[in-house]
Every structure is written in C-alpha cells, then in structure tokens.
C-alpha cells in the first residue's frame, strides 16, 4: 500500500479523473490508506456514515439483513470501486455492512469532505449518477433472472450475473477472482447447496468452468448468455 497518495494517484480513480489539481490538493490531507485482513469488517449496517471508501485491491462483500435476519441482500465489489453508493448525500448511517472477502487495500476519506467536493463538481456528480444507474440496471436484471421457478436456471443465471459484475476477460475465457463457496452461490440463487454442487460438478465435466474456493474460471461464458435468454 502506498504510504501517501498524490494528485496523480487520485486521478487514476475514475471519479477524480476530471477534478482540478487544486481541488485534489485540498483533499489529500484527508485521504488515508489502510489494509484489512480477510474476514474483517469495515463498517456495520447502522453505523454513522463517516467514511467513503475506494477499494484498491481485493474483494469486499456488502450485506444487509431484515429485522429478523431471515432475508439478505448481498453485493460484491472488485478493485477500483467507490463504496458505498447507497446513502450518498442523503443518509446519515450505513445501509449495509462491509466485510473483506480477501485481504484488501483501501483508501478512505471523511464523507463530508467527499460530498462537498461532489456537490460543486458536475463531472464527479455525473460519474456517480452513471455508476448508480449501472448498478441499478445490473441488479434489476439479477432480480428478474433469479425469480424463475427452475432451480437450475437460477444457479446458471447467478453465475452469469457474477461474470457480468466481477469477471475479468482473458484469452482463455473469463476469470472471477472473488472467492465464492457453494453456500454463497446457493444463497444468491435461492437454491440448496446440493443443487449448486451438482450443477457445478456437471459444468466441470462439460469443461464449461473450473471452480475452487479462490476463483471461478469460465472457459465458455457464452454458455451462460444462451442460458439466460
């Protein structure tokens, strides 16, 4: 992790790309770097929303429970993402909990400093609106794809969602470096762990993907595009 960030470093993050140098110079004294170990919590749902984070490396899970903890909303973040978007400019408390899924590096800054900069910078505001629209579209399609009555289709649609949201294209296919267990995929898809295990086993035998506790390698991503039509 860099011990200290510069104006040029901040400009590598899309949201700051068009900011004036003087704006970023004024922000730099309030930018902090930190590492978290796998399993550590960055904040809890209901905590005061004091910081805005930028994930530099590793993966983070955002999660929200209802009052009885029987229903979960889960989202995953990959490097170079701002979080949390939920509540920006409007909410005094975090609406999700954030957990490090791997060892991670982040930078963070006080929420009020970041929001003051956004409020007077049209390019930042447009970028944030664009990203929120992208997230909304992705999650609307995720909900639509996972309400199908077929358990098999729900699992395939969930993998397709993970490819779209977290996948990194490579010559051999698409790699999802975020670690997932069969239990997590079963929660996302609303199916049993046994169903997920059986489907993953079949897809391995058909050479569609490879799956372990560290990553998901999809050799034929077009298989899931066909499955979700």
Q: What is the pLDDT of residues 88-122, one digit of tens each?
A: 999 999 999 999 999 999 999 999 999 999 999 99
Report d(CA 159, CA 63) in Å as an integer. 19
Report d(CA 161, CA 163) in Å as an integer. 5
Mapping DSSP onto H, E and C, the string for 4-26 reads: CCCHHHHCCCHHHCCCCHHHHHH
Hey, what are 160's tokens? 């397709």
Report d(CA 3, CA 229) in Å as an integer. 47
Residue 132 above 60 pLDDT?
yes
Residue 229 above 50 pLDDT?
no
Over residues 133-147, the mean pLDDT reads 82
Hey, what are 120's tokens? 């007077």
> Which single residue is written with the structure tokens 């399609």?
141
Secondary-structure breakdown of the chain: helix, strand, coil percentages, each rounded to the nearest 5 = 40, 25, 35
* Bridge partners of residue 175, in order along the sequence: 168, 217
- Look at residue 227 in the predicted model and tell me its pLDDT: 54
Report d(CA 185, CA 154) in Å as an integer. 10
Over residues 63-86, the mean pLDDT reads 82
Over residues 180-187, the mean pLDDT reads 90
């Amino acid at each position: 992790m860099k011990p200290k960030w510069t104006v040029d470093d901040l400009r590598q993050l899309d949201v700051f790309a068009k900011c004036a140098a003087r704006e970023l110079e004024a922000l730099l004294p309030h930018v902090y770097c930190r590492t978290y170990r796998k399993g550590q919590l960055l904040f809890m749902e209901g905590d005061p929303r004091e910081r805005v984070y930028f994930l530099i490396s590793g993966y983070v899970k955002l999660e929200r429970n209802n009052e009885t903890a029987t229903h979960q909303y889960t989202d995953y973040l990959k490097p170079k993402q701002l979080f949390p978007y939920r509540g920006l400019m409007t909410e005094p408390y975090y609406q999700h909990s954030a957990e490090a899924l791997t060892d991670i590096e982040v930078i963070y800054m006080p929420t009020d400093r970041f929001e003051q900069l956004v409020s007077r910078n049209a390019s930042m505001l447009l970028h944030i609106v664009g990203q929120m629209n992208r997230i909304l579209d992705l999650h609307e399609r995720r909900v639509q794809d996972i309400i199908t009555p077929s358990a098999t289709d729900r699992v395939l649609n969930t993998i397709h969602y993970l490819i779209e949201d977290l996948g990194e294209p490579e010559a051999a296919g698409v790699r999802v470096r975020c670690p997932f267990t069969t239990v997590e995929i079963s929660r996302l898809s609303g199916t049993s762990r046994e169903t997920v295990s059986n489907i993953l086993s079949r897809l391995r035998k058909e050479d569609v993907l490879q799956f372990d506790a560290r990553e998901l390698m999809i050799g034929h991503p077009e298989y899931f595009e066909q499955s979700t039509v």
